[in-house]
Chain A
């Protein structure tokens, strides 16, 4: 009602574009770019022979950079002014991607799964692509796991990689010391990681927001440093090597097998190809990720999942309704950690070697970025963001040293245009009236 009247008023008054402040602002931005680019881009050192350094100047590049910044800034500021002359400055309509993803959820999901299953058999597919797909899927699974904690329960966790590490090391140690295979160790990895989730959960029960983030960050570092220094058990910086590869119902992926063991290619009468294992690993993680997704979607519609979301919305109201916040939080931590642990177990078997190097803070940050970028609580958003975040730096390899720059710019762009993530749609867990009620608010 009020927005409609506001729209009418806004339409009648056509605000003129203010050119002077626009130009001033763009010039200022160009000046900053000029100053920054001068030493960074404008001057290049090179070897003139005999170990001496010469300097090459590229002032043309500096000028181009400044011009691009000027034009970009000018356009960026001009656009909203032009738009505001036409549109009301009311609440911005939810982005089209969100609406589309909400309406077409089932066809998109089916298409996505079909594509993921078919990927290794597509004509353009290569070992590299399947490998990249496996990496993306590990991050998708981690993102879905963290989504339980951050997206649903609203508990900001900056140390999620700790559970990933716990899962990987559980498998590593079980394999090295007790000779467990991947499939035998998988449930243990999940259980041990879930226990660590509860261990982390207890001290942080009273914390929320920033405080929780700092403690979880610390927890992630503690795990990594323990792994690094407890050399007698974890192998310290040398890590654990020789982790067994997964088998296909007991069939190994190897050129030659020891006595009495059949290999995959022998059993199916195929020519041996190292690609078989890569494709198999891809399908294993695809299955694990889909189970994670199915589980999360299902539990969202159960009382536990609703309690998570209620806890995110208002903890005090939860208590007043007789919900035990301790149990709800711990279950979120435990289930989130379990998926992290399972993904870690897969990581171990895929790499064949694990060391603390793989579980640094940057991993936690990447997983959290996937969740936030995708849209908190959105399962489809996580997939989109994981593809973007993992494959963008890969495809950017052609640009060599500029790829991280492009990556950063892409992230900033997404956050500017989609501050609530790529897909910010939340489907209610149940409806009284069937059919879309046109409620795409979140």
Chain B
């Protein structure tokens, strides 16, 4: 695990991010950074504001205050000032969703081609060159299929390329969603609970996949996760949120030992009883894993596979 060096420019800088919904402050003055070639995890109990941070990042919410800056193509882009769909297009931030959002009625391959809409649309001359079937567009389409194929191979989906996305088992759908996000050619990949509803075997395969992406693609990965085996196993850097505030920020080892984190996950009383920090880690992991199991009912079809 690499620890971030001081002075290295962050890929993503979140500064004093605040998000209010009426009287409720879902995210309160949160600042953190994510770096290229690193996996940054955002964890916290249910309702801590993790997904809200993601939604601010990817333009689904306009933050009430604070700034989100990403370094892309040599310039600093303010995500909080970009229109929603431009975040994926210009700032190259791709995301997946907590409850998988695929184009269910389209095939796996089509899902990956739709992800490459913007370059393809330009190549098709806004449909005019495409309608005429000009060779320039055909070449662009072939390149898009090749790129889709690269990710299909990488994520083990090639066999299913012509299957409807909606007919895939849940675990495969999750993988497809990651492949679709990667097809947009992102610099920052935001994954919202990628391991939710996966069985232990699938979740360890996900670990390997994320590590491989980090090693080969030279992109930053930001993930929200409840599954502590994923978070502790692969993260370079962990941010812990509780009630919308950042309560800890550091390497997995630092976060493990942080008394605030233990308090947030287990409550006050347990902290006083447990003395040995190693022991606390075990219980903290168990506590963290409890929630996805209860929310994991959509994952049941996996068991039958």
Which residues of A does B touch, CB under 8 Å?
A: 1-2, 295, 298-299, 302-304, 306-307, 309-310, 312-314, 316-325, 426, 428-433, 437, 439, 441-442
Stretch binding the partner chain, chosen from B7-15, B88-96, B268-276 = B88-96
Residues in B whose Cβ lies below 8 Å from that of A309: 103, 105-106, 110
Residues in A whose Cβ lies below 8 Å from that of B296: none
Would you call B103 and A303 a contact (CB within 8 A)? Answer: no
A-B pairs with beta carbons under 8 Å apart, 20 shown: A303-B120, A303-B124, A306-B113, A307-B117, A309-B103, A309-B110, A310-B114, A312-B105, A314-B102, A316-B97, A317-B102, A320-B181, A321-B88, A322-B117, A322-B118, A323-B85, A324-B85, A429-B110, A432-B109, A432-B161
Stretch binding the partner chain, chosen from B35-43, B162-170, B222-230, B254-262 = B162-170
Name B119's closest neighbour in chain A (CB-CB): A303
Name A331's closest neighbour in chain B (CB-CB): B127
Interface residues of B in 39-97 (CB under 8 A from A): 58-60, 84-89, 94-95, 97
Partner of A316, one of B94, B101, B115, B145: B101
Name B164's closest neighbour in chain A (CB-CB): A441
Docked Cα-Cα span, A442 to B97, in Å, equals 24
Would you call A428 and B106 a contact (CB within 8 A)? Answer: yes
A-B pairs with the 7 shortest C-beta distances?
A322-B88, A322-B89, A432-B161, A313-B103, A317-B101, A302-B130, A303-B120
Residues in A whose Cβ lies below 8 Å from that of B175: none
Partner of B127, one of A302, A313, A433: A302
Docked Cα-Cα span, A392 to B118, in Å, equals 45
Task: Among B59, B84, B86, B167, find the residue whose CB has the most chain A CB atoms closer than 10 A.
Answer: B84
Docked Cα-Cα span, A430 to B113, in Å, equals 9
Would you call A320 and B97 a contact (CB within 8 A)? Answer: yes
Name B90's closest neighbour in chain A (CB-CB): A322
Name B167's closest neighbour in chain A (CB-CB): A441
Residues in A whose Cβ lies below 8 Å from that of B103: 309-310, 313-314, 317
Partner of A433, one of B86, B121, B148, B162: B162
Residues in B whose Cβ lies below 8 Å from that of A325: 85
Would you call A442 and B130 a contact (CB within 8 A)? Answer: no
Given contacts A295-B131, A312-B105, A322-B117, 7 further A-B contacts (CB under 8 A): A1-B304, A303-B130, A306-B114, A309-B103, A430-B110, A430-B141, A441-B164
Docked Cα-Cα span, A316 to B85, in Å, equals 10
Residues in A whose Cβ lies below 8 Å from that of B58: 320
Q: How far is the CB of A426 from chain B (nearest CB, A)?
A: 7
**Given contacts A306-B110, A437-B162, is CB(A313)–CB(B124) below 8 Å?**
no
Partner of A313, one of B94, B104, B121, B158: B104
Partner of B86, one of A1, A298, A322: A322
Interface: B16 (CB within 8 A):
no
Would you call B180 and A302 a contact (CB within 8 A)? Answer: no
Q: How far is the CB of A442 from chain B (nearest CB, A)?
A: 6
Residues in A whose Cβ lies below 8 Å from that of B166: 441
**Given contacts A428-B162, A432-B158, A442-B164, is CB(A307)–CB(B105) below 8 Å?**
no
Residues in B whose Cβ lies below 8 Å from that of A426: 105
Would you call B127 and A431 a contact (CB within 8 A)? Answer: no
**Given contacts A2-B304, A302-B131, A303-B124, is CB(A428)–CB(B107) below 8 Å?**
yes
Q: How far is the CB of A296 from chain B (nearest CB, A)?
A: 11
Docked Cα-Cα span, A308 to B3, in Å, equals 44
Would you call A321 and B124 a contact (CB within 8 A)? Answer: no
Name A1's closest neighbour in chain B (CB-CB): B304
**Given contacts A428-B107, A430-B113, is CB(A323)–CB(B158) below 8 Å?**
no
Would you call B109 and A317 a contact (CB within 8 A)? Answer: no
Q: How far is the CB of B164 from chain A (nearest CB, A)?
A: 5
Partner of A320, one of B94, B113, B162: B94
Would you call A433 and B89 a contact (CB within 8 A)? Answer: no
Partner of A430, one of B115, B117, B145, B304: B145
Would you call A317 and B106 a contact (CB within 8 A)? Answer: no
Name A442's closest neighbour in chain B (CB-CB): B105
Residues in B whose Cβ lies below 8 Å from that of A316: 60, 97, 101
Docked Cα-Cα span, A441 to B166, in Å, equals 10
Name A304's closest neighbour in chain B (CB-CB): B127
Docked Cα-Cα span, A314 to B177, in Å, equals 13
Partner of B162, one of A1, A317, A323, A432: A432
Docked Cα-Cα span, A306 to B148, in Å, equals 15
Partner of B110, one of A2, A299, A314, A428: A428
Name A2's closest neighbour in chain B (CB-CB): B304
Task: Among A312, A314, A321, A428, find the residue whose CB has the most chain B CB atoms closer than 10 A.
Answer: A321
Contact with A along B102-144 (1 / 0, CB 8 A): 1111110110011101101100101100110000000001000
Docked Cα-Cα span, A322 to B126, in Å, equals 16
Interface: B149 (CB within 8 A):
yes
Residues in A whose Cβ lies below 8 Å from that of B86: 322
Docked Cα-Cα span, A439 to B107, in Å, equals 9
Q: How far is the CB of B120 from chain A (nearest CB, A)?
A: 4
Docked Cα-Cα span, A310 to B101, in Å, equals 11
Docked Cα-Cα span, A442 to B110, in Å, equals 14
Residues in B whose Cβ lies below 8 Å from that of A429: 110, 113
Would you call A298 and B131 a contact (CB within 8 A)? Answer: yes
Q: How far is the CB of A419 from chain B (nearest CB, A)?
A: 16
Residues in B whose Cβ lies below 8 Å from that of A323: 85, 114, 117-118
Q: How far is the CB of A308 from chain B (nearest CB, A)?
A: 10
Residues in B whose Cβ lies below 8 Å from that of A318: 85, 114
Interface: B173 (CB within 8 A):
no
Docked Cα-Cα span, A61 to B39, in Å, equals 79
Docked Cα-Cα span, A313 to B100, in Å, equals 12
Residues in A whose Cβ lies below 8 Å from that of B94: 320-321
Partner of B145, one of A1, A321, A432, A441: A432
Residues in A whose Cβ lies below 8 Å from that of B18: none
Name A377's closest neighbour in chain B (CB-CB): B105
Partner of A321, one of B104, B117, B158: B117
Residues in A whose Cβ lies below 8 Å from that of B158: 432
Partner of B121, one of A303, A312, A442: A303
Would you call B106 and A313 a contact (CB within 8 A)? Answer: yes
Q: How far is the CB of A50 from chain B (nearest CB, A)?
A: 68
Partner of B101, one of A2, A302, A312, A314: A314
**Given contacts A317-B101, A426-B105, is CB(A322)–CB(B130) below 8 Å?**
no
Q: How far is the CB of B140 from chain A (nearest CB, A)?
A: 9
Name B186's closest neighbour in chain A (CB-CB): A322
Interface: B251 (CB within 8 A):
no
Residues in A whose Cβ lies below 8 Å from that of B89: 322
Partner of B85, one of A1, A306, A319, A430: A319
Residues in A whose Cβ lies below 8 Å from that of B148: 432
Residues in A whose Cβ lies below 8 Å from that of B107: 428, 431, 439
Residues in A whose Cβ lies below 8 Å from that of B180: 321
Would you call B167 and A317 a contact (CB within 8 A)? Answer: no
